A and B are shown apart, each in its own frame.
Chain A
Amino acid sequence: MQPVNRMKTEFLSKSANESFARVVAASFVAQADPSIDILADIRTAVSEAVTNSVIHGYEEKEGVITMECILYQDHVEIIIEDFGKGIPDIEQARTPLFTTRPDLERSGMGFTVMETFMDSLEVESTPGKGTKIRMTKQLVSR
């Protein structure tokens, strides 16, 4: 399948960039004219993925996060990658309500939100190397 459009951006793992990332992703996807609900789902999923990199990947220290959005005729693929500490047990991390940071009042819902709000979610992670999240969402035209 031939992409219609593509963009890639890179930013520091600062919590202020959580809103930057979701606004940028939504603006890029908006050119496909999806519904408001689809855009809201994408914003939420991007926010969760970037927050995971900030809190868990880099443990709130400085690092680099990249976000790539590939737009196809009927769907978008969003790839969010960090080069932080990685996830030792992906299955456990994806379990609803599981969190390693209850001290931060994390709900343990991050991956569950990404799974629920997007159509697919793949997680690749190597401890010590980083984590790559690949999500897709159908963009049903109005």
Chain B
Amino acid sequence: MESPKYELAGQRILSVVVVTPETTALETPAQFVALPLYDGEIGIAPGRAPLIGRLGYGEMRIVEGNETRRYYVDGGFVEMSGNTLTVLTHRAVPADQLDAEAAQQQLDEALRRPANSQELLAVRDRLILQARAQIRTARRAG
């Protein structure tokens, strides 16, 4: 599967594919992509060395020309290979379509969850991270 090489006015372009279990959410060329990794944000420019990374929860920015598209991604993986960036995530929601109120509600509920064992703590942390990332992404978009 050789990736198509996008060239635009001498500028190097990356091809981005965002896939969720339900569908292929997005297929687009881009000049720069910022992704939330498990332990921090990563920026990817065309021609980056091959990479497999674990995604966290947060905002993905896809820069194409003068336009920046913002998405919320919900965990998953990212693979950079050839000049193609594949993002495998459970959910990819355009940032302006995020439901901040639902996220706030999830956060409130998560904060009330018991955390008296390792496993319960892990579940609680995950829910909190997820909710906070959604709220943050929604706020930045709004």
The reply to whether chain A is a binding partner of chain B is: no
Give A contacts to B, CB under 8 Å: none
Give B contacts to A, CB under 8 Å: none
